[in-house]
Amino acid sequence: MPVLRFLTSVFALVAVVALVADATPVLYGAKQFTATTVIGYWQELAPTSLAAARTAISASTFPWVWDPVVLSVINLPTPVLFGLLALVCGFLGRRREEMKVHIN
């Protein structure tokens, strides 16, 4: 599936860019390595969107879905989460071998 292969490259690109952004201060000797979480980036870039997502998910599903389920996923470091998404999409979108079965 070409869409999954495209998503694999996008997710891998996001993972690499996030890793480089987190590792750059370490290379300059400014501070220790700390991987920024997805919720950290989300809170920094669009806090009202995060609050709206929390409200929408809690309103449309059970309230416990946001706190243990969604929050545990978006608390992962960004390179790890997007790297895992790239691996899953890469596995599901791989080209499969064509089996040639001949019945005599």
> Is the pLDDT reported for residue 104 higher than 70?
no
Q: What global pTM score does this model have? A: 0.81
Task: Give 50-97 pLDDT, tens digit per residue.
Answer: 999 999 998 999 888 888 889 999 999 999 999 999 999 999 998 888
**3-class SS string, 23-83:** HHHHHHCCCCCCCCEHHHHHHHHCHHHHHHHHHHHHHHCCHHHHHHHHHHHHCCEHHHHHH
Backbone angles phi, psi at 31, to 5 degrees: -160, 175
3-class SS of residue 100:
coil
Task: Give 5-51 pLDDT, tens digit per residue.
Answer: 999 999 999 999 999 999 988 888 878 888 899 999 999 999 999 99
Task: Report domain extents, the chain.
Answer: 1-33+78-94, 37-76
